[in-house]
Amino acid sequence: MAFYTAFSGLTGAQTEMATIANNIANVGTSGFKRSRVAFGDIISTSALQNPNRIVGSGTTVRAITQQFQQGPTETSTSALDMALAGPGFFVVKSGAGGVQTHFTRAGSFGVTPDRFVVDNQGRNLQLFPTTTDGALQSTSLASTIPARLPLNSGAPQASTEIRISANLPADAPIIANRPIYTPTNPYVFDRNDPSTFNASTSVTVFDSLGNPLAATIYYVKDSVPSVGDPFHRWTARAFVGNQELNVAGNAALPMEFDVNGNLTNPTTPFVFDAFTPDTGAGAMALAIDHGSATVQQAGPFSVALIEQDGVASGQLESVSVEPDGLVRASFSNGEVQVLGKVALANFSNPQGLKQTGDASWVVTPQSGEPLMGEGGRNGIGTILSGNLERSNVDLTTELVNLIAAQRNFQASAKAIETDNQLMQTIINLRN
């Protein structure tokens, strides 16, 4: 009887050493949770047995439990690397149609060639659907969707208007009065010759296909106030690419300022004749609005505002994840899209989850159904983007525990040896 009692201790110590060895082996596994062996003693008794003379029958492994304490975090250069600060699990799905649901603390996610966000096992990270402004639409497990990064954003929109607020220098010289210009060599505007204009500014506009085009506006000082003409007069010319724009067939667009430097003409935008860019896009109808903020005052030429209303189809530039799990994608055209919120889950009894490897678990009757929610609510931790949770294994503690388990193993082995010697002695007495 003592032989089998000691053997149960030997088996239990071996199980404990194997568990500790597994903990040590996974000290570098992201999201790994250490396990601990829970033992129970074995008592065999009967109703007629004296309770003061009961001898135990050994030990047995009652459970190998997961310890879900928070592991330390380390920083990462990827916004899709995420750690949970507090309780909870990321939700990932695998299999055709995403029918197999797993829960993990390993937040190292990457992107597949078709732009799905997946973990190291290729399982899809799940998001809660949201509105365009980030409001949750549902937090049920059945409503989750796989995270997928869009390649581009929005349809291109051709530019229709340029808005400018500028200061034209009051002391600008009159170009045509330069001595080099004579009746035989008259002044002629040449955009490639900076001496033929006083100032210029540029802005990028877009055609109907989203192609960028350089729009440049040139300003030429024509005259100063006189007895018969109380205005400062300028001429504006506009080019898109190499095409000069016209208003009713006229390329030289008059501008006038009063003696106080206020723009008095034009009072409405220059609306250019339709033109077709050389990019293969459709015809463009473009206008330039100088507004009331364009003035002629002392000081150099300056532009306080220049903007246009066209957009290109934006290319994905970056992704960000907020502490509550809100995922935003930023694009080259300045647009920002909300993709959803990272789906998180918690359990009333996490120790009841079944391990599946790769720092992942699945639901069991003991764990209960997942309690779904967003980061920072309903007892679920917040998300740390650009971080990874390391294993919660403390190497020093595990090594001490391993030594203790080894001593227990050796002690049980010694008990077996001693019992064997006693049995041999008894056999020898019969001889």
pLDDT tens digits for range 238-249: 999 999 999 999
127 or 22: which leads in pLDDT: 127
Q: What percent of the chain has pLDDT over 90?
A: 59
Instruction: List, in order, residues 6 or more apart from 210 with CB less than 8 Å away.
Output: 156, 311, 312, 313
User: Which run of H or of E encompasses 394?
Assistant: none
The pLDDT score that the predictor gives to residue 61 is 80
Torsion of CA 330, 334, 340, 342, to 10 degrees: 30
- At how many degrees (to 10) do helices 2-25 and 395-430 cross? 160
The pLDDT score that the predictor gives to residue 52 is 66
Where does the pLDDT of residue 402 fall: very low under 50, low under 70, confident under 90, or very high at 90 and above? confident
The pLDDT score that the predictor gives to residue 49 is 64
pLDDT at 155 over 90: no
User: 177-217: per-residue pLDDT in tens?
Assistant: 999 999 999 999 999 999 999 999 999 999 999 899 999 99
Alpha-carbon distance of 321 to 382, in angstroms, equals 11
Tokens 């439990």 correspond to what residue?
65
93 DSSP β-pair partners: 101, 124
Alpha-carbon distance of 376 to 213, in angstroms, equals 46
Which residues make up the CATH 2.60.98.20 domain(s) of the chain?
161-308
Alpha-carbon distance of 89 to 106, in angstroms, equals 9
327 or 391: which leads in pLDDT: 327
Contact call for residues 321 and 79 (beta carbons, < 8 A): yes
The pLDDT score that the predictor gives to residue 172 is 95
Torsion of CA 149, 151, 155, 159, to 10 degrees: 110
Alpha-carbon distance of 271 to 282, in angstroms, equals 18
No. of helices (H) and no. of strands (E), the chain: 2, 31
Q: What angle do CA 288, 292, 294 make, to 5 degrees?
A: 70
Structure token pair of residue 180: 């080099």
Where does the pLDDT of residue 388 fall: very low under 50, low under 70, confident under 90, or very high at 90 and above? very high
Average pLDDT of 353-371? Answer: 91
Q: How far lies 101's CA from each of 74, 141, 410, in Å?
A: 27, 9, 43
Where does the pLDDT of residue 297 fall: very low under 50, low under 70, confident under 90, or very high at 90 and above? very high
Lowest-pLDDT range of 23-32, 120-129, 197-206: 23-32
At 118, the amino acid letter reads: V
pLDDT at 25 over 90: no
* Cα four-point dihedral sign 155, 160, 165, 167: positive
pLDDT at 2 over 70: no
pLDDT at 127 over 80: yes
Alpha-carbon distance of 40 to 63, in angstroms, equals 9
pTM over 0.95: no
Specify the DSSP class assigned to residue 298: S
Alpha-carbon distance of 334 to 132, in angstroms, equals 16
Strand, coil or helix: 426:
helix
91 DSSP β-pair partners: 103
The pLDDT score that the predictor gives to residue 112 is 93
pLDDT at 413 over 80: no
Contact call for residues 157 and 310 (beta carbons, < 8 A): yes
Alpha-carbon distance of 368 to 34, in angstroms, equals 21
412 or 308: which leads in pLDDT: 308
pLDDT at 267 over 70: yes
Average pLDDT of 302-311? Answer: 94
Strands, DSSP E only, in 105-160?
110-111, 117-118, 124-128, 145-146, 152-153
Lowest-pLDDT range of 53-57, 333-337, 355-359: 53-57
User: 83-118: per-residue pLDDT in tens?
Assistant: 999 999 999 998 766 678 999 999 999 999 999 999
Mean residue pLDDT across the chain:
89
Strand, coil or helix: 311:
strand
pLDDT at 431 over 60: no
Provide the greatest CA pair distance for the chain. Answer: 147
User: 28-83: per-residue pLDDT in tens?
Assistant: 888 888 888 888 777 766 566 666 666 666 778 887 888 888 888 899 889 999 99
Average pLDDT of 263-276? Answer: 95
307 DSSP β-pair partners: 163
* Domain 161-308 CATH assignment equals 2.40.40.20: no
